[in-house]
Structure 1
């Protein structure tokens, strides 16, 4: 388990907090507004599940109050107790002074509305694949672009570079009859993934393997392979904001052009796919480089609400 710094003494922690006179911040919305102002003043970066200071402030305030984000509007005008206010001010100050991703401060992130445990041992999950599993693999005849006819017919899924295990868990929930194997090279990441698997009670259907890409699964074949591998290029790694530098480098660094791991996945995936299977892979902004490297592959680029051309699909026959 990753070592955590001991919290400062109570007197020291209180001394570091901004002095906000009692009664000036009253409601949930007041504290969100205050957090937004502090975040903008500090010039924070937002790239870990929230993309702007308002969303991040609402996330931190709600988590400190043990409220699901969907409840924010319902309680926006609710009054905050003195004890709650102190806790909120503390987490706001930690976000500003440590520049750690908000998810690490509260050990939680949401994907598709579902909570997952995270800490510094794993990258903060923010993959577009979760949305695509719902939009393009639902088997809905009315859904434009559905890539499978029946989710219940998917019997095996492989998640490469699983990290916290969130995509493997979402796959388990979207494909109720599937055995899901999830692989990561990091033992520390797999410890986090195991915690999330246990939270969702999926130990009997979701298996975790430690190793390098396909090596731990031998010659097994799958109906679906998904992966959100490291894909940040050298230039991007050099320019990472402090928030992203708090994450494991292993989970981000994709080599000189960002596609070292993606190339290996494409070269090996065909041997591990069932005849009617396919590969769903996220690569960030490397589309042009990838298409130049594999001009013979008919990659189908899938868009989401917040991305364009960052995730591709390719069927087993084309590999």
Structure 2
């Protein structure tokens, strides 16, 4: 009889140990994988590696070559345009959809599922489908021509100046549902007493959202913007499936430059340098966000 409590305590200890192992072992392995490959990429970026990794030291030669290349300059300019417009549009559309669903309309569950559906589709599928829709010989332009409007043109996919906007359209379609879900959760968490007080003071729907509800969503807005920026910086498969960086190199993004240097031109050192530059761009977004989150937690703790 006296051994049962000891066995119970031992089994509980083993259970907790198993739980910790299941949590921490995969996390440590994943962290070790990421850190080791990041350090390896950093080392390769300072070497004269071409088809295979090579020892040696070339300093910043790979970085200066990448920064001076036309491909990287176009890719960086496209990233600035694509990232800013994509984030703004996805935030705006996601917020509008969230406000619509927040009205407790009929069929809310169906509409929410429809708006969230693109999020369940892979970026390769999204890019492929939109490449069909935007192809002048297959998609929207051909459909309108068949309906009798022969002068209609929608050839952005093959227009050097407009092709980048096709990526914006596809990315916004894919990601607006994600922004909507977070905004809707924020709207549903607003204090009802605060809303009732504003309504008693005579605030109409527009004023209620503009002055009372939306200001409480700033933390969610910043979080969604950072996540969307992270997606924009690392975008590869969507562009690869939709435009493949074309026409020419008109829709190049940094991830495509890395792929082109490493796997098509066999310039491993320069590709690694481009990857490190992508990482620096990403850190320029994530580090300020991490600092802001830390400040918010400290303020919450002191409050």
- Report the TM-score when normalising by structure 2: 0.22
- The structure carrying a bigger helix percent of its residues is 2
Q: Greater share of strand residues, 1 or 2?
A: 1
TM-score by length of 1: 0.21
